[in-house]
Amino acid sequence: MKKFFITMVILAVFSISGYTNQEVMNENVFAKSARVLDEINPSRNANYLLADENFSNLQINEIDKPIYDKYSIEDREKLGLKITLPEIAPYKQEKVAYLTFDDGPDDKVTPQILDILKRENVKATFFVLGNMVEQNPKVLQRIFKEGHAIGNHSYNHVYSELYKSPWDFIAQFEKTDEIIKKYTGVRPLIIRAPGGTAGVFNNDYWNMVDASGYVEYDWNICTEDATASVPNASTQVNNVKKQIGDYPPRTLIILMHSKAGKEETAKALPEMIHMLRNLGYKFGVVTPMTPQPW
């Protein structure tokens, strides 16, 4: 009886204050994310943009500013907020190279890559695995605090589990969203399908991705650091040069990896950055306004 009375008093206070159940839930979700954001990034500087409730602020001019959502997909469903993204004009004003790193974060190669990026004053995009984030949360937090973009690369990268169906596929990404959000207070809007979409995606997968409010990004340049030949640093740089060719595309989305065994990728990075700068490229992070690589 006492518990019932206290509950009624709380509800009465909310009623007098003019709060609706949705507004209370909205505030609780935001407050939880805000606490994590304050712990991870107390300065709350302009390193990133938080999407608004209707995704109406995603069209920006900064190519090196990550975009995140403070709401999970489940939060948006419960609150009746928009889930699917609006049409966004791709950024094509200048030549931009997007350095992307898959399969991390680990505690050896990823920190080496972060050290190089910091020294070169370059922002990059890390498509992370949920199970790797669980093992190395502090490395993920460093990625976030240093202003790089975090993308979702599934939970475990196991094709036989991931590509059973579009529902199994999206379930892994929602699970990884929650893990990322636990350690950063935000979730990504960008994803990358393990192995890329070619040969595994059909309309059902694309429709599921769109309905869940994600934007999927493959790549158009590859260092080939995941091939059986295990190329050394100079070969990786040459691979990128050859693929760019004599008529450099306006947009480069470059695939690399940041996990144990990819030490040569870290070694290749400084020369690759200098080469791209000499070709007139600026460096950006992948966001929903990044042009598709094809």
Among 231, 191, 238, CA closest to 213:
191
Q: What is the DSSP letter of 222?
A: E
Alpha-carbon gap, residue 175 to 188, rounded angstroms: 12
Q: Of 97, 188, 96, which Cα lies nearest the Cα of 140?
A: 188
Sign of the alpha-carbon torsion through 131, 112, 66, 224: negative
The answer to whether residue 257 is catalytic is yes
Q: Which amino acid, 158?
A: V
Of the candidates 64, 69, 75, 102, the residue annotated as catalytic is: 102
The whole-angstrom separation of Cα 193 and Cα 224 is 17
Asked if 102 is an active-site residue, the reply is yes
Residue 157, judged by CB atoms within 10 A of its CB (0-12, 13-18, 19+), counts as: middle
Catalytic residues: 102, 257
